[in-house]
Structures are given as structure tokens and as C-alpha cells.
A and B are shown apart, each in its own frame.
Chain A
């Protein structure tokens, strides 16, 4: 079974631009979660989707948004990029419940975003 894939793997943007990151979960997995990792703040939970619905949301501004498609693939979008958005963005999939309900998650390799 293929693992979680994320595209692109690396991205450079400038302040004010917007960016869309993509995540394809493991086949059969319906829950997708997104995380941001920075040297200063560590890992932080962004949001979780299940069956095309956002089920949980972390403490991030409205510039961060996401969606999930009927095939469980998910995208996250960051508008009006700021320098502080430079980070590793990770997505993880699980069968149904997601990590917030105690289910094991499988992580993708991440997208490393640099905002200049």
C-alpha cells in the first residue's frame, strides 16, 4: 500500500502570496489532519478533515484553510503569506477516527515552505 504523499515537497514564496499544499492519504483512509512545524513553536495542529467535513480546528488565523475531496485527498491553503509561515507542513491520515480520537496516524514526508 502506498504511504501518505504530499506535494510539492519544497516551495518558495514571497510575502503576500498564497499557497496551496496537497495531501493524498493512504488508500481507504478517510481522516486527514494537517500540522505545522517550526523551530520556535514545534508541532502544532492545524485542522482535521473527515468525509469532506472539518472536524477539528487548531488555533490558527483564518488565513489558514483547508478542504477535503470525495476521494479523501486534502488541500490546505494559506493566503497572504507572512515570513512566520515558513515551516514544515505535515499531513497525516488515519482510517476513521484520527489522532484526536486516539487512532494511530500515518504521516506524510511534509512540504517545506519558505516565505521570503
Chain B
């Protein structure tokens, strides 16, 4: 079982829809990142969370440490939101830290 699981793997939505992408992890973490990767490979860091909720424009990210779960929400989705969304968790393993990525959620927003 992967340490980080994302769902769904693929998501198609119509413009204007509210979108939720989920990330679950199996061990204790110190932080969680949400990344956006556009076709062509460029990656943008959207959020870093260690607790609670963060909002930036139409994007909202939440994390529940007890339930080992994070969600990324997109309100009023737009075709330019079409991308792969990746969550990554920071695992503290003794003296070292380890960054582990989910497999990504491919989002397609159509007109």
C-alpha cells in the first residue's frame, strides 16, 4: 500500500463546478504540500499545510491530522484549472525527513 493515496485518479468537470481532490496518508507527517502540474511539466506549489485550512483565490486546502486526510477544493472551476494535482507529505523518520508524493489527480475542466 502506498504511503500517500490520492482520489480520484481522473476527474472531468464542467466549468463552474465545485471540485474536491482527496489525499490520505498512512503515517504521521509534519507537513503536507499541494502541487499543480500543467501539461509540459511545469510545477507550481499551491499550499503547504501542517494544520487547519488555507485559502488562495478559488483554491482551498484543508487538513485533518487525526484522520490523516487532506482535501483540495476548487470553487467555480475554469478550463485553465485543467492540470495534474499532486499531494506530497513530509514524513519524519527518526533523524531524517522524507518527502513522499501521491500519484496525482488529473483534472480536466470543460466548457
Contact = CB atoms under 8 A, between A and B. Distances in A.
A102 B50 contact: yes
Interface residues of B, number: 22
A44 interface: yes
Contact of A56 (B43, B48, B97, B102): B97
B99 to A, nearest CB: 4
Contact of B90 (A42, A102, A109, A110): A102
A21 interface: no
Nearest to B96: A56
B41 A88 contact: yes
Interface string A78-116: 000000000010101000000111111111011010000
Interface string B25-57: 000001101000000011111001010000000
Contacts of A57: 96
A64 interface: no
Majority-rule SS of A interface residues:
strand
Majority-rule SS of B interface residues:
strand
B85 to A, nearest CB: 12
A101 B33 CA distance: 11
A109 B41 contact: yes
A99 B45 CA distance: 10
B74 interface: no
Contacts of B7: none
Contacts of B45: 92, 99, 104-107
B21 to A, nearest CB: 15
Contacts of A42: 86, 101-104
B42 A99 contact: no
12 contacts: A42-B102, A42-B104, A56-B96, A58-B98, A90-B41, A99-B33, A99-B48, A99-B88, A100-B99, A102-B31, A107-B44, A107-B45
Given A101-B90, A101-B97, A106-B45, 19 more contacts: A33-B99, A42-B86, A43-B86, A43-B88, A45-B98, A45-B100, A56-B96, A56-B99, A57-B96, A90-B43, A92-B43, A99-B48, A100-B97, A102-B48, A102-B50, A104-B45, A105-B45, A107-B45, A109-B41
